[in-house]
């Protein structure tokens, strides 16, 4: 009988622990800024500022440094999530305009840097933030539509982006 009572107490304790770990809907950023690399951060190393006008659709601007100089991008980002989402993962689609290629021309006596602007589209995922936290990571794959002048150069068909973002305000 003592063993049965002990087992019942253990089971009751497990259900209480499970109930405390039940996921709750996540709050997502409304206004944030971040540091990272990739076209959605303006270049090799840059800053991204995002403002979600409504919970799933926002605008952003990014500026950064790449080897030959400064790059920029601005655009729209649409998150693919539901109001009651319990996961910290938030996939998104992104469209932007701005710097999407740099070329270094070298000859015997000098170097010349040239940047090219155009439209880019991509997909990505935000990791977080967890409830009560104000930091999250994001990863993106961006497909730039490059200028016809760049056909002679070997560019990868896509670029990667990776960053850390800090939440300044959240949608309720």
More confident: 115 or 38: 38
- Name the average pLDDT for the chain: 82
Tell me how far apart the alpha carbons of residues 10 and 112 are, in angstroms, rounded to a whole number: 72
Summarize pLDDT for 79-121 with one digit per residue, the tens.
988 777 777 888 999 999 999 888 877 877 877 788 888 999 9
Q: What is the pLDDT of residue 18?
A: 41
- For residue 172, the number of C-alpha atoms closer than 13 Å in the C-beta half-sphere is 0
Strands 29-38 and 159-170: antiparallel
- pLDDT tens, 53-67? 998 999 999 999 987
Confidence category of residue 2, pLDDT binned at 50, 70, 90: low
**Range with top average pLDDT, 14-28, 86-100, 128-142:** 86-100
* Rounded Cα distance, 95 and 144, in Å: 10
| pLDDT for 126 beyond 50 | yes
At 22, is the pLDDT very low, low, confident or very high (cuts 50, 70, 90)? very low
Token pair recorded at residue 46: 């840059």
Looking at residue 24, what is its pLDDT? 52
Please tell me which residue, 170 or 98, carries the higher pLDDT value: 98
What does the pLDDT read at residue 7? 43
Q: Round to whole Å and give the CA distance between 1 and 73.
A: 70
User: Residues 139-164: what's their mean pLDDT?
Assistant: 89
DSSP 110: -
The tokens for 5 are 């009572």
pTM of the model: 0.77
Q: Are 80 and 116 in contact (CB under 8 A)?
A: no
First to last CA, the chain: 51
Q: What residues contact residue 107 under an 8 Å CB cut-off, 6+ apart? A: none
């Amino acid at each position: 009988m003592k063993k049965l009572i002990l087992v019942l107490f253990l089971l009751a304790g497990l259900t209480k622990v499970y109930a405390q770990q039940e996921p709750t809907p996540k709050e997502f950023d409304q206004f944030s800024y971040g540091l990272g690399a990739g076209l959605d951060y303006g270049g090799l190393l840059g800053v991204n500022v995002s403002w979600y006008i409504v919970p799933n659709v926002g605008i952003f601007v990014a500026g950064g440094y790449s080897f030959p100089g400064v790059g920029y991008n601005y655009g729209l980002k649409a998150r693919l999530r539901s109001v009651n989402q319990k996961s910290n993962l938030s996939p998104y689609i992104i469209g932007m305009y701005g710097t999407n290629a740099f070329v270094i021309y070298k000859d015997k006596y000098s170097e010349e840097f040239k940047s090219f602007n155009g439209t880019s589209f991509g997909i990505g995922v935000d990791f977080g933030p967890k409830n009560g936290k104000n930091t999250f990571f994001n990863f993106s794959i961006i497909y730039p539509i490059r200028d016809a002048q760049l056909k002679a150069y070997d560019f990868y068909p896509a670029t990667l982006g990776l960053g850390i973002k800090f939440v300044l305000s959240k949608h309720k």
